[in-house]
Amino acid sequence: MEYTLFRVLSEGKEGAGVLHEYELLKPVINEYAPEELKEKIRGLGVIRATVHTPPYTMHKFWARRPWRVFRELIARFTRPGDIILDPFAGGGVTLVEGLILRRKVIAVDLNPLAVKVMKHEVTPLDTRLFKEAVRRLSRIVEPVALEMYRVRCPKCGGRATAIWTEYDASRETPITVSYECGVCGSKGLKPPEPGDLPEPPGLPPFTRVEIPPGDKTSDLLKRDIRFFDQLFTKRNLYMVLILKQEIERLDTFGDDIKSFLLFTLSSTLKWASKMSHRRGDIIEGWALHAYWIYPRYLEVNVWRQFLNRAEAVLRGKEFTNKYIGFYAREAKTFNELASNATYMILQLDSRKLPLPNESVDAVITDPPYGDNVNYAELSDYFLWLFRETAPKEEIVINRTRNFTIYHYQQGLEEAFRECYRVLKPSRLLISTFNSKDAIVVGVFIYSLRRAGFNFVVASPQPYLKAYETTFHALQVDALPYDYVFFFYKGDIGSQPKSTTIENLHRFLTEELEICKQVMCSEREYRMRVYPKLIELFVQASTISEITLASRILEDTISKNSEYFKMVRRKRIEDRRSKRCC
């Protein structure tokens, strides 16, 4: 197999001995795969990812992969009119890009939030009517918001509006107000004064929803935060409930417009809770893959944020109206999809697909990465207001719910067996995947092989710089790219076992010594050795073998932790000295 990931600049050149992560990204290739297929995948090269297009900024969803990578995969490995299956559809990248390229798409996800997001991404919207509905809503809600976020202007003494208020979480008291004055036009920061931010009246009726136990909710439960409404200040909860109530009362507009308004409110929730905070000059909404209230949290003006999100929804729908438009025709059955419809969104478990055998032309997906994102626990925050919760039978690792690596492996295998069943012969399953935890990568590969697929290529695709600030990419020494894995339904010949546990141990030791000579970081070391691990995972016959190989890697890194810490300190010092100069 070929598995070079990067190179060291040759001696004698400026910067010799420094590793450049993206200079040479070569795929791991199964030499027994069909030559024509290998050449086609080699031609993929490095896809230059760009920032999310407007449909993906309408509503938060976790771990969305770069749209451009998926568009390129769809364009290269399917044809117009082909049926693509995404069994872990999540934030809808395969669905949106597939429809843009005039494919037919089956998007499957157990999570009701994922289904809601995808439906609003591709359903055409009359933007004129939506704008009119927002204006109608403004006449009712804006006077309430002006009163709820009222503060005194320190310049003219007139009536100003709080844009956000920072609270000391330990005392639950406001300490700083960011304001705008509607009288003199001034804006800035001020301490709260008596009479600022009046108490809201009684809350409109709503149903309290308990926070379920889980890996990502444990911190809240330890702090005796047992209901989702406790994540909001009383003022912001009041405004959220008022908005929901008034949207539902807009009888002059159809259900489609009201659905998009409620979707906008759902999107607003990212900034409406105590999980919002200041990051320098940036107002950050809920950004983590866990629930966390900062020692200094923000109460963001819900109405202002709703208007911001309405603009984001408009941008998203103007984009999809233009590039998808009425090509988006939803099917309720597979027969409808095979006829005149162009997409199906199925809220169900991908381990039981209601699809005929050998009926889809490609599987293109991005499955859960072990315990990286527990989607169901996190989605409940956006669902509780609408009296919904996400099913917890998802394919993840969750220690609180006793979902082990073996549960994860079995779930993946069952889902991939269904993919194998419905995929036409001699076709591809293409999946992005990324985990710092090597055993998770190994189990992913093992599950696909157990389901009947044959490994073809693993192609690394680097993150766009903008994605490197996401929670997943910010993990210490996380790999700075996704792998795009290609698996084939069909026989591609036997593969001799070239990598064993014994020679893996020797390989890891030798690579470590090379890394020490050129001062590699832990990240760069992982980048060097991951291809060899993938080679072993592709040939592994048991999970125990995968676990042992992963443990050998982690033990090697752990035994050299002082060296890697030293490299990290030196890199930080070098960056600081360059900034100073």
pLDDT digits (tens, 9 = 90+) for 366-423: 999 988 889 999 999 999 999 999 999 999 999 999 999 999 999 999 999 999 999 9
466 pLDDT band, cuts 50/70/90, is very low
Please, is 395 exposed, middle or buried when counting C-beta atoms within 10 Å of its C-beta (0-12, 13-18, 19+)?
Answer: buried
Query: Is residue 54 scored above 90 in pLDDT?
Result: yes
Those residues whose C-beta lies under 8 Å from the C-beta of residue 578, and which sit 6 or more positions away, are none
Residue 465 lies in a domain: no
301 pLDDT band, cuts 50/70/90, is very high
Those residues whose C-beta lies under 8 Å from the C-beta of residue 201, and which sit 6 or more positions away, are 238
Among 140-149, 458-467, 480-489, 491-500, which range has the highest average pLDDT?
140-149
Residue 74 lies in a domain: yes
Which stretches of 43-194 are DSSP H helices? 67-77, 93-100, 112-122, 127-148
Query: Is residue 23 scored above 80 in pLDDT?
Result: no
Q: Is the dihedral of CA 29, 31, 37, 38 positive or negative?
A: positive
| 429 and 370 part of one domain | yes
DSSP 464-508: PGGGGGSTTTTSTT--SEEEEEEEESS----------HHHHHHHH
Report the pLDDT value the prediction gives residue 526, as an integer from 0 to 100: 87
Domain boundary among 278, 313, 348: 313
Among 229-238, 475-484, 570-579, which range has the highest average pLDDT?
229-238
- What is the mean pLDDT of the segment spanning 278-293? 90
Residue 541 lies in a domain: no
Report the pLDDT value the prediction gives residue 467, as an integer from 0 to 100: 45
Q: How far is residue 224's CA from residue 189's CA, in Å, rounded to a whole number? A: 32
Which pair of structure tokens corresponds to residue 487?
């698996």
Instruction: Determine which helix (DSSP H) or strand (DSSP E) holds 179, and give its type and residue range.
Output: strand 173-181
| 282 and 136 part of one domain | yes
- What is the mean pLDDT of the segment spanning 326-338? 96
**Domains in the chain, number:** 2
Which pair of structure tokens corresponds to residue 441?
């990568």
Report the pLDDT value the prediction gives residue 217, as an integer from 0 to 100: 92
Task: Give me the CATH number covering residue 488.
Answer: 3.40.50.150
Percent of all residues in the chain with a pLDDT value above 70, rounded to a whole number: 91
Q: How far is CA 92 from CA 18, 73, 97, 115, in A?
A: 39, 15, 8, 9
E runs forming strands in 285-372: 296-300, 343-346, 362-365
Identify whether the C-beta of residue 162 lies closer than 8 Å to the C-beta of residue 301: yes
The owner of tokens 């400026």 is 14
Report the pLDDT value the prediction gives residue 435, as an integer from 0 to 100: 86
| 308 and 333 part of one domain | no
Query: Is residue 476 scored above 70 in pLDDT?
Result: no
| 435 and 365 part of one domain | yes
| 185 and 299 part of one domain | yes
Taking alpha carbons only, the member of 336, 360, 345, 349 closest to residue 419 is 360
Report the pLDDT value the prediction gives residue 77, as an integer from 0 to 100: 96
Q: Are strands 28-29 and 454-462 parallel, antiparallel or unpaired?
A: antiparallel
Least confident of 32-36, 372-376, 572-576: 572-576
Q: Rounded to an integer, what is the distance from CA 466 to the centroid of its chain? A: 13
Q: Which domain holds residue 220?
A: 127-313
Q: Is the dihedral of CA 121, 371, 564, 544 positive or negative?
A: negative
| 298 and 329 part of one domain | no
Report the pLDDT value the prediction gives residue 502, as an integer from 0 to 100: 84
Q: What angle do CA 450, 533, 522 make, to 5 degrees?
A: 140
Identify whether the C-beta of residue 380 lies closer than 8 Å to the C-beta of residue 389: yes
Residue 448 lies in a domain: yes
**What does DSSP assign to residue 384?**
G
Report the pLDDT value the prediction gives residue 271, as an integer from 0 to 100: 97
Tens-digit pLDDT profile for residues 414-454: 999 999 999 999 999 999 998 888 999 999 999 999 999 99
For the chain, the residue count is 581
- What is the mean pLDDT of the segment spanning 20-47? 74
Query: Is residue 108 scored above 60 in pLDDT?
Result: yes
**Mean of the per-residue pLDDT values for the chain?**
89
Q: Half-sphere exposure of 319 toward its Cβ, with a 13 Å CA cutoff?
A: 20
Residue 466 lies in a domain: no
Residue 160 lies in a domain: yes
| 95 and 157 part of one domain | no
Those residues whose C-beta lies under 8 Å from the C-beta of residue 561, and which sit 6 or more positions away, are none
Report the pLDDT value the prediction gives residue 574, as an integer from 0 to 100: 80
| 236 and 335 part of one domain | no
Report the pLDDT value the prediction gives residue 468, as an integer from 0 to 100: 43
Which pair of structure tokens corresponds to residue 512?
């470590």
Residue 404 lies in a domain: yes
Q: What angle do CA 483, 535, 403 make, to 5 degrees?
A: 65
Report the pLDDT value the prediction gives residue 63, as an integer from 0 to 100: 83
Report the pLDDT value the prediction gives residue 83, as an integer from 0 to 100: 98
| 279 and 210 part of one domain | yes
| 180 and 306 part of one domain | yes
| 152 and 256 part of one domain | yes
Tens-digit pLDDT profile for residues 194-252: 999 999 999 999 999 999 999 999 999 999 999 999 999 999 999 999 999 999 999 89
Tens-digit pLDDT profile for residues 154-210: 999 999 999 999 999 999 999 999 999 999 999 999 999 999 999 999 999 999 999
Report the pLDDT value the prediction gives residue 20, as an integer from 0 to 100: 44
**Which carries the bigger pLDDT value, residue 483 or residue 265?**
265
Q: Are strands 159-168 and 296-300 parallel, antiparallel or unpaired?
A: antiparallel
Identify whether the C-beta of residue 166 lies closer than 8 Å to the C-beta of residue 176: yes
Report the pLDDT value the prediction gives residue 496, as an integer from 0 to 100: 56
Taking alpha carbons only, the member of 462, 119, 469 closest to residue 282 is 469
Residue 294 lies in a domain: yes
Query: Is residue 507 scored above 60 in pLDDT?
Result: yes
- What is the mean pLDDT of the segment spanning 75-95? 97
Q: Are strands 83-86 and 362-365 parallel, antiparallel or unpaired?
A: parallel
- What is the mean pLDDT of the segment spanning 467-483? 53
| 362 and 274 part of one domain | no
6 pLDDT band, cuts 50/70/90, is very low
Domain boundary among 283, 313, 343: 313
- What is the mean pLDDT of the segment spanning 292-318? 97
